[in-house]
Structure 1
Amino acid sequence: MSRWKAPIHRFSYRSLIIPPILLAAATIVALFLHSDVNAALLWSQCHSHSRIPGISRVPVLGTPICYIISFFRAALHSLRSSAVMAVVLAFLGSLLTVSTVEAARICNAPNVLIAYPTGPWLVFDLVGGAVVWELVIIPAFLHRTKSILNSRKRTDGNGDVQHIFTSRHLPDSELVAIPISVALGFFLPSILMLFYTTPATIGVWLFFPIYVTIIRQITRKVVTTIKRASPENIHLASNRRSLLFVYLLPMICSVLAHIFFIWSLTQHDDRKEMTRSIIVFIEVDTQFIFWTVLYWMLVEVGWRVPLTTVVLSLFTGPGAGTCVGWMYREKLIHHDNEQGENTAQPADEESPLLQ
């Protein structure tokens, strides 16, 4: 009895990107409804140079940079809001890990938006928020997956070449480079911003995508240089220790942030009006990112992975839930990959997308 096929196998790319577009529209409407005069007040203060004058007086870029820094500074201006931001940052760290792993895969090399995530992440961080995930990042992944599936269906006699460009392997140096780059490039600035909230620490944090990219490239070169054996490509899902090592830090941070948030609920709500309105804005934006990621999982591997992610997120935070869900996705794909080598059956809900 055949199982329900995942949407990626049943629908065209144009059909699959309709929900993200609708989510983007809903995000804009929701953010507009939750916005108030406080956000405009921050901009006005930066424009008049009454807030962070050392930055706001810089020509052209001074006002927007001052606004972004002031926005996050206000969001971290209380214990309760700092706990919320800790959960949000842990979730972003998990997404950054997932995005970096996917960028390292051989099969994603032809897609610039996936293979070089620095640009999209900078736009997401500085300007776009959830809309960037809904209109840029997720559609890019769905388009690439569709291209690989279509490539597999072709029988042009170049099986070896096709296998290279559909391989889910990644260089072995990435096992070290990805965790280190995310730890030093994202989590370290995030922790500094949480516990020592100043315009300087926030300003440093804003450009974390650049740090992650630079540290990752340097670490890869160092590992390749000091390693005596020849570089190899590895299949991450086939090695439990490697898989856990890559995702361990964001999972730990998510659990700690979740505990911090639950504890903060037992304390007095010390949020002022400005902080309250801004943190609600961030919460709404983050929720839409989470829903978009769940849709991504649903489209590629069916309903079990997003359901697992949601359930675990309730107990460990969305960051750990996303990581465990992604590892579950990887194991399903790897398991069905092995079965597919022995039996030629049509793709179903949990059939491998990318070999």
Structure 2
Amino acid sequence: MVRLISLPRALQRPPIHTIAIHPLLIPLPLLSLLTVVALTILPGIEIPMLYSQCHARARLPSVSWIPALGAPLCFILSFFHETLAAVRSRATLAVILAYLAAMLTVSLVESARVASRPNWLLRRLLFLWLVLALVGGAIVWQVLIVGSFMLQTGREVSRHRDAQKALVAPAEHREGEETAAAEASVEAAAAEAATPDSLTRDAIRRRRLETDSDAVAIPVAVELGFVLPAILMFIYDTPATIGLWLLFPVCVSVVRRAVRGIVAATISVRHRRRAGTDATDEPSRPSRPRTLDLEASRLGLALVYAFPILLSVLAHVFWIWSLTRRDDRKKMTRATADFLQLDAAFMAVTSLYWIFVEAGWKLFLYVIASSIVLGPGAGLCIGWILREKAIRAGFEEDAASVQQGGGEGSPQVEGQESGVARTSHDEPAGEETPLLRSD
């Protein structure tokens, strides 16, 4: 049999573990530039004509007369109204909205992780989504949202790898650092107490959700703040319902905050009842919110991702059914639908690149295959669950590679290859000597 040529280990691992993060960010502004060029040239003259009609107050006179904001507001409302004017374009928009629901879900999950909280931009994620909905589209997703998350993950990978390298550094190097300053000596003492496994557990712990209430708040916020306005827009197709959907980031933020507060209050009451206290007693000092390892909880994964996956499958089936019908789109409707489809395609390519950088090419291909079968939203959600497992496996592989490359003089590596313990000089190994021994 012909033996298959195996790829080098550097190509088998995700690029974020083998390449510095800043070169990996270069394709994002290039994609945004390509998006601008494509959206400017390919749609034709129908989109500018739609704006000129609003500027001339020939469309939606009740809105277009508003100074300064009238023409842009009329344009965006008329844009979606035209898209909803045919069955084929409605099916296309349904797939796009299902994909946006999946994108919104995964971005909210990432922003809720402990590691993301120090990031100033990620704390304002829903503001970025508001800009995306009203102005930016794929460009905001590519440069600001995906770029910020990739940069944050790259910093976490570098932080973990540097901590592992510092742990296996030669003793004389650590002693030199201890004499630099009193603060350095405290850090060195903490490093001495750390182990490779504890550093990896800390890196994985930072991947947990900051509060367990987000496992309920995120899906409820997406369902009530995004999906419900989208359904109303599909049913009624009026400027009011379209405008309500365009403000979905505000609705999602309000619902999420309310649900988090309700869940936190419910948990607090249950804890006090279990402790035998009465609700009328003086309130005790509030307890610290509990983090949640979402990927270790099947119930949590089902709560967060089941609805976007179901929504994607239904929209995918609707789109396939629409292909069996006569194309009833007029020229303007075709132009607006193609514009949205092109914009969503660039967002999907950016998401696939994000997955490739952080999880590798195998998961990249798996997401493409599942997107073809179940729809792009379902493919993204399924890939996101597997992506997190790949990130955590990458931390463990980084720790193992650093330990193996630490040198024979490293106290952490010496005598620990392949889990086989060394035997002492005064107790030679024999047939009865166990492979694994405790000190």
- Check whether TM > 0.5: yes
Task: Give the match for residue 115 of structure 2.
Answer: 107
Aligned length: 345
1:55 corresponds to which of 63, 72, 79:
63
Once residues 58 and 217 of structure 1 are traced to their aligned partners in structure 2, the CA distance between those partners, rounded to angstroms, is: 33
Aligned pair in 2 of structure 1 residues 166, 57: CA closer, same or farther (>3 Å)?
farther
1:128-170, CA deviations, whole angstroms, 9 ceiling, x for partnerless residues? Answer: 1111122211111121112212222144456799848970111
Tell me the C-alpha RMSD between the 2 structures. Answer: 2.2
Residue 196 of structure 1 pairs with residue 204 of structure 2 = no
What are the superposed Cα offsets for residues 289-348 of structure 1, whole Å, 9 maximum, x if unpaired?
A: 0010000011011112221110011111100010001011123334566x669x73359x
With normalisation by structure 1, the TM-score equals: 0.91
Find out whether 1:151 has 2:207 as its counterpart.
no
**Corresponding residue for 1:258?**
316
> Structure 2: 5+ residue runs without aligned partners?
1-7, 167-186, 272-286, 404-439
Q: CA deviation at 1:35?
A: 2.3
Which residue is equivalent to 1:117? Answer: 125
Which residue pairs with 2:401 in the alignment?
345
CA deviation vs aligned residue, 1:176-212 (integer Å, no higher than 9, x gap): 1011000000000111112221111100000101111
- Partner of 2:247 in structure 1? 207
Aligned residue type for 1:99: S
* More divergent stretch after superposition (308-317 vs 4-13): 4-13
Aligned match of 1:272 in 310, 330, 333?
Answer: 330
Indicate if the aligned counterparts of 2:220 and 2:255 stay in contact, CA closer than 8 A. Answer: yes
Cα distance between partner residues in 2 of 1:181 and 1:336 = 31
1:184 and 2:224 matched:
yes
Task: Give the distance between the partners of 2:394 and 2:139, measured in 1 at CA.
Answer: 33
User: d(CA) in 1 for partners of 2:113 and 2:371?
Assistant: 26
2:99 is aligned, of 85, 91, 109, to: 91
Q: Which has more radius of gyration? A: 2
Instruction: Write the letter of the residue equivalent to 2:56.
Output: S
Partner residue of 2:16? Answer: 8
Worse overlay, 318-327 or 132-141: 132-141
Deviation at 1:40, TM superposition (A): 1.3
Q: Aligned partners of 1:220 and 1:122: how far apart in 2? A: 21
Assess if the C-alpha contact under 8 Å between 1:305 and 1:328 holds in 2.
yes
Among the aligned pairs, what percent are the same residue?
43
- Measured against aligned partners, the alpha-carbon deviations of 1:54-77 in whole angstroms (never above 9, x if no partner) come to 111112111111111111111111
- The structure-2 alpha-carbon separation of the partners of 1:166 and 1:107, relative to structure 1 and needing over 3 Å to count, comes to farther
Separation in structure 2 between the aligned mates of residue 23 and residue 288 of structure 1, nearest angstrom: 8
Q: 1:18-33 alignment to 2 at 5 Å?
A: 18-33=26-41
Q: Among 156, 159, 167, which residue is 2:206 paired with?
A: 167
SS at match of 1:36: coil
Residue 21 of structure 1 deviates from its aligned partner by: 1.7
Shift of residue 244, structure 1, vs aligned partner:
2.1
CA distance in 2, matches of 1:2, 1:290: 28
Q: Which of 135, 138, 147 does residue 143 from structure 2 map onto?
A: 135
Distance 1:329 1:344 in 2: 20
User: Which residue number in structure 1 is paired with residue 78 of structure 2?
Assistant: 70
Which residue number in structure 2 is paired with residue 288 of structure 1?
A: 346
Query: Contact 1:107–1:165 at 8 Å: present in 2 too?
Result: no
Comparing 223-232 with 249-258, greater Cα deviation is found at 223-232
The aligned residue for residue 366 of structure 2 is: 308
